[in-house]
Amino acid sequence: MKLKIRTIATFALVALTIGLFPLAQSAASVSDCKQAKGNLSLVNNGNGTTSGTITQGGRLNGTTQATFTSAFTPTPDPSSFSFTDNLTLTTNKGVLVTHNIGVFDAATGLFSVINRIDPNAGTGDFAGATGVLYVSGKTTDGGATFQAEITGEICFAN
C-alpha cells in the first residue's frame, strides 16, 4: 500500500512541476519591470493644465502635460483637497500616459499623486507598459509652480 501511495505522490509531484514550469516562463517573459525615479518641475498654466519637465529620470526624462479631469474636491480635512488628472509624458523613447488621483494640502503646499500607467495609450518603449508612479512634492508660491520627486515601477511589454 505504501508503494502505491508513494508512486501516486511522485506522479502528482512530477505532473505539478511540469504544469507550473510553462507558467513560470510566461510570467518572466510578460514584462520587464524597472524602478523609476526622477525630478519633476511643473508650471500651473491657469487653464486646468500644468506643463513641466522630468530630469534625472533616465527613460522618463522629457516634457509633461497634465489636464485636470475633476475640480478640487474637499476632504474631511478643511485645508486638503483631492483631484484627478491625466498626464502625458513625451520622451525620446516614446509617450507615456497616466491616469492620476491626488491630494493637495493648501495650508502646507504639499501634494501627493498616484499615477496609474495606461498600457493602451503609450507609444515607443511605453507601448503596452503597466505600473504605478508616485509623485510627491510641494509648491512654495501658492500653486504657480511645483517641485516633486517621482518614484515607482514601470513594467515594459516585451
- 96 versus 26: the higher-pLDDT residue is 96
- Is 65 a domain residue? yes
Do 41 and 137 meet the contact criterion of CB atoms below 8 Å apart?
no
Q: How do residues 106-131 score in pLDDT, each as one tens digit?
A: 999 999 999 999 999 999 999 999 99
Q: How do residues 3-31 score in pLDDT, each as one tens digit?
A: 444 444 444 444 434 444 444 444 444 55
- Is 76 a domain residue? yes
- Is 24 a domain residue? no
Domain count, the chain: 1
Angstrom distances, CA of residue 54 to CA of 26, 91, 95, 101, 150: 33, 9, 13, 19, 9
CATH code of the domain containing 97: 2.40.350.10
Q: Which domain holds residue 123?
A: 31-157
- Is 14 a domain residue? no
pTM of the model: 0.79
- Is 15 a domain residue? no
Interatomic CA distance for residues 86 and 118, integer angstroms: 10
